[in-house]
């Protein structure tokens, strides 16, 4: 049974039983506390928790999921995958335990010929939460399971939550027994690979808070409705139904494994370690493909770092299989062909995906080469010092800065006969993980308790009127102060205000929130920010400027018209720049992020190389030409599929509902899905001034532009500067570049002549210093203060010239001190003869610098010191003399 067939049977079964079939959400989670969707229920959390009213009583989906907490287990067990698909059926206060168990047993044990999955009931076991007697009774009643195939387990396995405050509840898991050939008897409680969990039924009925660990949390209340959340691992069922030993050998994954085998010349099944590497490659390539299809790009932080890690582990595994060249063109194509039937976007977007993947592989192969060079130097230095261990901080530097895998460091060190200080490396890694966990915890706090919004959201969605009006009369539904719902706020308070309708735009789609106010009878509120804390709800963060505001009062939202005009200009300019980029560079130059506010916009796009000045000018010219063409800007609300069919660009990482807002500027030339505010015609943008272009990663660039009056002011400032230059240089504007270049050349020549004069003047001081030479035992010494010099370089040159005049055959020491721009400096130079007696310039420089109030050092033949106390120069030089006498 193919994976796609299992998927279709699932959706058909639950669709026929009144469940709304919901498409998979993006792997990129809406929840800022989660990098990715980590479970099939994540997109439904607002409905399961009662925060947002569910649009349907029951639903089913096959959700794309990414989990990386068990990444080290990938390839080693039959069931651990980074990317997988979770079949789910959900009830939002509709049915509960009995119906959920009945559906599960029916689908699992109905024959394949009748549309089921055809499992033998004798092969199925279940586990329940230890105190859930009701579930045990239902399994006996519905499935007729005997006591010995129902096992009670504790919270660590049979109580489900997301790891953060939210919905939770006991669960019952269904396992398939693969038979004695795969492990010991004893059921799922043995935690043996013989028993494969295929379905988890979560009876979600509680709200939890203060989550201290998987098993330690506070149950604070029952949910408004008892809900059902189930999850069946599609890949797990697939490998059981396809008669293979693990998820890496199913039809959607095995082609990548086979291609890795062919490229390496190593047969799958011949060597245990090689098999693990091939399974890692198969999993990670598919995971990377699916992440990039949802808009994630490789980077050094967040989601991009996880993607980069997966890709680099793949490259490392291919290297361990003996392949050192590029393999992504072969491996990603194999994964695309295996996944495109279920996810057509991996084929339609493959040009973009492959360009990013191939560039990342090329970059990391160079990184491996550079890292190997650094590691080779460290190995040589370690062996030269006759030390048995490579330092842990060296291994960590290679790992953290260069992305050089620790196992590769271990391998190369071992080949050189060295070990690596793993304890030091692990300690540094632990510190890094601790920082990462602290960061993750801080993200979770941001959504620690959204329940404060549930009552407001239950009243319906906030109506946004700002596309048509700048002022809107409304009613205050709620006031929140310090996370708590209150009845009123008074002058000076910072609060959140929930309105039934608002004309103020909430930050989204790269556009900053509107500036403005909320006013009413006896109160005036300054709007500091506008956000969407939960889907469908708009919250205004305000400061009460005057009066007292209370729940239920009439209020008017007022948008600052000047700010809104600038914001619409900037957002529409973003669309023009994006379209101009694609016209000049081609369709692969796709937006990867944007930010705009009144007077300014920036746009990130997928591209590897810097834009030349001519290319930047061409993009700017095209965008400004479209402004002059006074193109009509139109918006339409239409179904998502219809918008895509019309050629509208859906930007990666953005979430879209069934109906979308499509913005056209000049018809299809610029056609994007966008909820932002825009001008009516392109001429209202006024002017675009492209002021910056830079790299934000190996495969992404950023352009920045001033817009409207800000662009004009910047040009006006440049005009004023040009006017000053033409007046000062007495040259027309068109001759300024040549005139400035000529002045720069004259200045360089003058500086060279001055340097020559200064060097000659410095040389005249050498004879008088040589004449001051005296003897200290067997040494000839010159220890003098030379007054003021321009730089330490001059002082160094003077000391070296004096040393040269004293002669290399003598045992001489030269120590000169000077005032360099108000700070004391000392230079010590020695001849070979002096060094033979044990004199070291570095030690002498440090001695003097300590008295000068600073530090110093250098080599035995030449060293430098400095400090902050000019008056200490005589004492510092005297200390050098004392040291030489000693």
pLDDT at position 546: 93
Considering the domain delimited by 765-885, tell me its CATH architecture.
Roll (3.10)
Q: pLDDT-derived band of residue 433, with 50, 70 and 90 as boundaries?
A: low
Cα of 358 vs its chain's centroid, Å: 19
Euclidean distance between the first and the last CA atom of the chain, given in angstroms as a whole number: 90
Write down the number of H helices and E strands in the chain: 26, 34
For 3-246, give the CATH class. Answer: alpha beta
Average of pLDDT values for 737-759?
88
Q: Which CATH number fits domain 564-715: 3.30.980.10, 3.40.50.740, 3.40.50.1820, 3.40.50.720?
A: 3.30.980.10
Task: Quote the tokens at residue 418.
Answer: 């060295």
The answer, as to whether pTM is greater than 0.85, is no
- Output Rg (C-alpha) for the chain, integer angstroms: 36
- For the residues of 632-677, what is the DSSP string, one character each? BEEEEEEEHHHHHHTT-B--TT----SEEEEEEETGGGEEEE--S-
Range name among 71-75, 82-86, 434-438, 686-690 with the lowest pLDDT average: 434-438
pLDDT at position 655: 61
Residue 575 annotated as lining a ligand binding site = yes
Residue 571 annotated as lining a ligand binding site = yes
Asked whether residue 622 carries a pLDDT value surpassing 70, the answer given is yes
pLDDT at position 42: 87
Q: pLDDT-derived band of residue 256, with 50, 70 and 90 as boundaries?
A: very high
DSSP-derived letter for residue 749 is H
Task: Quote the tokens at residue 362.
Answer: 């090329």
pLDDT at position 651: 65
Average of pLDDT values for 296-308?
84
pLDDT at position 381: 85
Q: 30-68: per-residue pLDDT in tens? A: 776 778 888 888 889 888 877 888 899 999 999 999 988
Select the more confidently predicted residue: 699 or 205: 205
- CA-CA distance, 842 to 830, in Å (whole number)? 10
Average of pLDDT values for 728-741?
90
Range name among 31-35, 654-658, 748-752 with the lowest pLDDT average: 654-658
Asked whether residue 550 carries a pLDDT value surpassing 80, the answer given is yes
pLDDT at position 444: 39
pLDDT at position 39: 86
Residues 6+ apart with CB under 8 A from 156: 214, 215
**CA distance to 25, 316, 324, 459, 526, per residue, from 529 (Å):** 28, 46, 52, 22, 9
Nearest in space to 630 (alpha carbons), one of 689, 591, 685: 685
Residues 6+ apart with CB under 8 A from 438: none
Select the more confidently predicted residue: 33 or 501: 501
Highest mean pLDDT among 174-183, 760-769, 784-793: 174-183
pLDDT at position 448: 35
For 450-557, give the CATH class. Answer: mainly beta
pLDDT at position 449: 57
Going by their DSSP bridges, the two strands 779-789 and 823-830 should be labelled as unpaired
Q: How much of the chain, in percent, has pLDDT values that exceed 70?
A: 96
Nearest in space to 285 (alpha carbons), one of 239, 353, 371, 232: 353
Angle at 233 between CA 228 and CA 237, to 5 degrees: 125
pLDDT, the chain, mean: 89
Q: 446-479: per-residue pLDDT in tens? A: 433 577 887 788 788 999 999 999 999 999 999 9
Average of pLDDT values for 301-328?
89
Nearest in space to 375 (alpha carbons), one of 422, 400, 408, 421: 408
Average of pLDDT values for 563-592?
93
Asked whether residue 711 carries a pLDDT value surpassing 60, the answer given is yes
Select the more confidently predicted residue: 826 or 698: 826
Going from N- to C-terminal start, the domains of the chain cover 3-246, 254-444, 450-557, 564-715, 765-885
Neighbours of 303 (CB within 10 A): 21
Range name among 393-402, 526-535, 773-782 with the lowest pLDDT average: 393-402
Say if CB 691 and CB 706 are below 8 A apart. yes
Q: pLDDT-derived band of residue 659, with 50, 70 and 90 as boundaries?
A: confident
Select the more confidently predicted residue: 511 or 78: 511
Give the bridge partners for 222, in sequence order: 206
Residue 284 annotated as lining a ligand binding site = no
Q: What SS3 state is found at 767?
A: helix
Q: 385-424: per-residue pLDDT in tens? A: 888 888 888 888 777 666 676 767 887 788 778 888 888 8
Burial of 109 (0-12, 13-18, 19+ CB in 10 A): middle
Average of pLDDT values for 662-686?
93
pLDDT at position 573: 96
Q: pLDDT-derived band of residue 141, with 50, 70 and 90 as boundaries?
A: very high
Which residue in the block uniquely carries the two structure tokens 């490659």?
Answer: 281
């Amino acid at each position: 049974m193919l994976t796609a067939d299992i998927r279709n049977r699932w959706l058909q079964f639950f669709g026929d039983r009144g469940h709304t079939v919901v498409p998979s959400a993006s792997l990129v989670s809406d929840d800022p506390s989660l990098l990715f969707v980590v479970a099939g229920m994540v997109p439904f959390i607002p409905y399961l928790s009662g925060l947002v009213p569910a649009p349907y009583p029951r639903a089913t989906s096959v959700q794309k999921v990414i989990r990386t907490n068990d990444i080290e287990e990938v390839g080693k067990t039959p069931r651990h995958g980074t990317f997988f698909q979770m079949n789910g059926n959900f009830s939002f206060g509709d049915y509960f335990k009995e119906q959920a168990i009945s559906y599960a047993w029916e689908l699992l044990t109905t024959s394949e010929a009748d549309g089921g999955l055809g499992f033998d009931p004798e092969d199925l076991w279940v586990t329940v939460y230890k105190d859930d007697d009701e579930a045990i009774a239902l399994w006996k009643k519905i499935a007729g399971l005997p006591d010995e195939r129902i096992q009670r387990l504790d919270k660590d396995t049979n109580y489900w939550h997301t790891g953060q405050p939210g919905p939770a509840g006991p669960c019952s898991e269904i396992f398939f027994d693969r038979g004695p050939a795969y492990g010991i008897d004893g059921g799922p409680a043995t935690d043996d690979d013989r028993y494969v969990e295929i379905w988890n039924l979560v009876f979600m009925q509680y709200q939890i808070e203060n989550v201290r660990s998987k098993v330690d949390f506070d149950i604070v209340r029952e949910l408004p409705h008892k809900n059902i959340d189930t999850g069946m691992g599609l890949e797990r069922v697939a490998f059981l139904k396809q008669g293979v030993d693990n998820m890496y050998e199913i039809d959607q994954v095995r082609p990548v494994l086979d291609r890795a085998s062919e490229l390496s010349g190593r047969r799958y099944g011949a060597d245990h370690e090689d098999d693990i590497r091939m399974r890692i490659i198969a999993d990670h390539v598919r995971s990377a493909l699916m992440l990039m299809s949802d808009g994630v790009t490789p980077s050094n932080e967040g989601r991009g770092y996880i993607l980069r890690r997966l890709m680099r582990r793949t490259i490392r595994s291919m290297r361990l299989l003996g392949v050192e060249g590029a393999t992504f063109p072969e491996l990603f194509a194999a994964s695309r062909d295996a996944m495109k039937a279920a996810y057509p976007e991996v084929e339609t977007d493959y040009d973009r995906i492959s360009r990013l993947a191939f560039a990342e592989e090329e970059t990391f192969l160079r990184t491996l080469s550079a890292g190997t060079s650094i590691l080779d130097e460290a190995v040589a230095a370690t062996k030269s010092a006759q030390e048995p261990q490579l330092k842990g901080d060296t291994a960590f530097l290679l790992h953290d800065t260069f992305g050089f895998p620790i196992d590769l460091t271990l391998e190369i060190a071992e080949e050189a006969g060295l070990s690596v200080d793993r304890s030091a490396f692990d300690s540094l890694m632990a510190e890094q993980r601790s920082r990462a966990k602290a960061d993750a915890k801080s993200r979770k706090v941001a959504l620690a308790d959204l329940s404060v919004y549930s009552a407001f959201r239950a009243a319906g969605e906030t109506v946004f009127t700002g596309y048509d009006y700048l002022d809107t009369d409304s009613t205050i539904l709620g006031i929140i102060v310090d996370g708590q719902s209150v009845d009123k706020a008074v002058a000076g308070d910072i609060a959140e205000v929930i309105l039934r309708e608002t004309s103020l735009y909430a930050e989204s789609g790269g556009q900053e929130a509107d500036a403005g106010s909320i006013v009413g009878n006896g109160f005036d509120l300054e709007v500091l920010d506008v956000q969407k804390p939960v889907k469908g709800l708009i919250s205004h963060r305000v400061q009460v400027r005057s009066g007292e505001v209370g729940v239920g009062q009439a209020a008017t939202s007022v948008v600052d018209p000047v700010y809104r005009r600038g914001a619409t200009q900037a957002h529409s300019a973003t669309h023009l720049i994006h379209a101009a980029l694609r016209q000049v560079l081609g369709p692969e130059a796709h937006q990867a992020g944007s930010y705009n506010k009144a007077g300014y916009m920036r746009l990130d796009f997928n591209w590897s190389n810097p834009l030349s000045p001519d290319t930047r000018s061409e993009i700017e010219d095209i965008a400004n030409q479209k402004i002059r063409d006074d193109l009509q800007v139109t918006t339409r609300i239409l179904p998502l599929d219809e918008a895509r069919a019309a050629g509208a660009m859906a930007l990666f990482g953005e979430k879209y509902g069934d109906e979308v807002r499509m913005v056209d500027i000049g018809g299809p030339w610029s056609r994007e899905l966008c909820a932002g505010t825009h001008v009516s015609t392109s001429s209202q943008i006024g002017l675009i001034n492209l002021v910056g272009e830079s790299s934000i990663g190996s495969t992404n660039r950023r352009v920045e532009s001033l817009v409207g009056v800000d662009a004009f002011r910047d040009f006006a400032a440049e005009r004023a500067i040009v006017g000053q230059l033409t007046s000062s240089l007495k040259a027309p504007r068109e001759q300024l570049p040549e005139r400035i270049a000529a002045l720069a050349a004259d200045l360089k020549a003058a500086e060279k002549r001055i340097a020559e004069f200064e060097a000659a003047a410095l040389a005249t001081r050498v004879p008088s210093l040589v004449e001051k030479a005296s003897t200290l035992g067997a040494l000839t010494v010159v220890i003098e203060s030379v007054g003021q010099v321009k730089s330490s370089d001059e002082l160094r040159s003077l000391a070296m010239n004096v040393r040269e005049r004293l002669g290399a055959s003598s045992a001489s020491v030269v120590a000169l001190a000077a005032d360099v721009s108000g700070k004391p400096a000392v230079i010590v130079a020695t001849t070979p003869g002096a060094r033979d007696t044990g004199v070291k310039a570095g030690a002498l420089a440090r001695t003097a610098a300590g008295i000068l109030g600073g530090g110093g050092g250098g080599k035995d033949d030449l060293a430098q010191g400095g400090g902050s106390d000019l008056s200490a120069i005589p004492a510092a030089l005297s200390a050098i003399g004392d040291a030489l006498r000693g």
